[in-house]
Amino acid sequence: MRPKIIGIVGSPRDGNTKFLVSSALKECEKSGIDTELVHLGKMKISPCICCDKCRDEECCVIDDDFQKVAEKVIKADGIIIGSPVYFGGVSSQLKAFMDRTRYLRRKEALKDKVGGAISVGGSRNGGQEYVINQIHNFYLIHGMIVVGDEKTMHFGGIGWGRKEKDAEKDEIGIETAKNLGRHIASVVLKLRTARSHSHI
Ligand SMILES: Cc1cc2nc3c(=O)[nH]c(=O)nc-3n(C[C@H](O)[C@H](O)[C@H](O)COP(=O)(O)O)c2cc1C
């Protein structure tokens, strides 16, 4: 089976985050990796209510679109999560998704998968790095392997945009998103090779 990277768009609109996550996925495809885009803003994912049933049931008992995304993420080799900056943090759509994955952590279902992050803000320095840090923390708490953008060599894809299509003119943002895509692809492929040799 070919390796697969899932791109998760945490914005409610068809805008800058979707564009940059798609740009990163296109780079992954050039490396021979299958990709799929999941747009959380088009789905119904309720927030975690801390019922704690995931402790016994080993699943999230709230029945909505979350389960569909969880299945895709469990099967993927890598995940690229993108979020707009909302008040210096991730969107509520993305936070709801992240919190609902608590049971996956208990099962170590995402352990050793590769993760990268992209963020877009209406200001050039509007909190993108905080958002990326929040996504990285999510990956680390799941035991994942965190990668940033190669070549530009920072935290991941960092874009600017206020109106929906602004990021399409943001050359720096596009470059960092593509560099992230290529980097995550190369790490996924290297891990595949290493695992096939060591049978782990
Ligand atoms: C509720 C809300 C809060 C926002 N807070 C910030 C912020 O703290 N910093 C920033 O740079 N932009 C902020 N923005 C602007 C968005 O990050 C920006 O419009 C971004 O391009 C949206 O991405 P999208 O096109 O993928 O939806 C905020 C927008 C909204 C709706």
Backbone angles phi, psi at 168, to 5 degrees: -70, -15
Arithmetic mean of pLDDT, 134-142: 98
Quick: pLDDT tens for 81-90. Answer: 999 999 999 9
Alpha carbon of 124 to ligand 1 centroid (Å):
11
Are 83 and 16 spatial neighbours (Cβ–Cβ below 8 Å)?
no
The first and second tokens of residue 181, run together, are 């895509």
pLDDT tier at 58 (50, 70, 90 boundaries)? confident
Within a 13 Å sphere around the CA of 164, how many CA atoms are in the beta-carbon half?
Answer: 4
Arithmetic mean of pLDDT, 118-133: 98
Distances (CA, A) of 73 to 10, 11, 68, 91: 14, 18, 9, 19
Q: Flag whether pLDDT at 200 surpasses 60.
A: no
Arithmetic mean of pLDDT, 64-77: 98
The 3-state DSSP class for residue 119 equals: strand
* Mean pLDDT for the chain overall: 97
pLDDT tier at 199 (50, 70, 90 boundaries)? low
Q: What is the CATH number of domain 4-198?
A: 3.40.50.360
Alpha carbon of 99 to ligand 1 centroid (Å):
21
Alpha carbon of 36 to ligand 1 centroid (Å):
24
- The domain spans of the chain are 4-198
Residue located via tokens 């050793």: 112
The whole-model pTM stands at 0.98
Nearest CA to ligand 1 atom 17: 121
pLDDT tier at 198 (50, 70, 90 boundaries)? confident
Quick: pLDDT tens for 153-173. Answer: 999 999 999 999 999 999 999
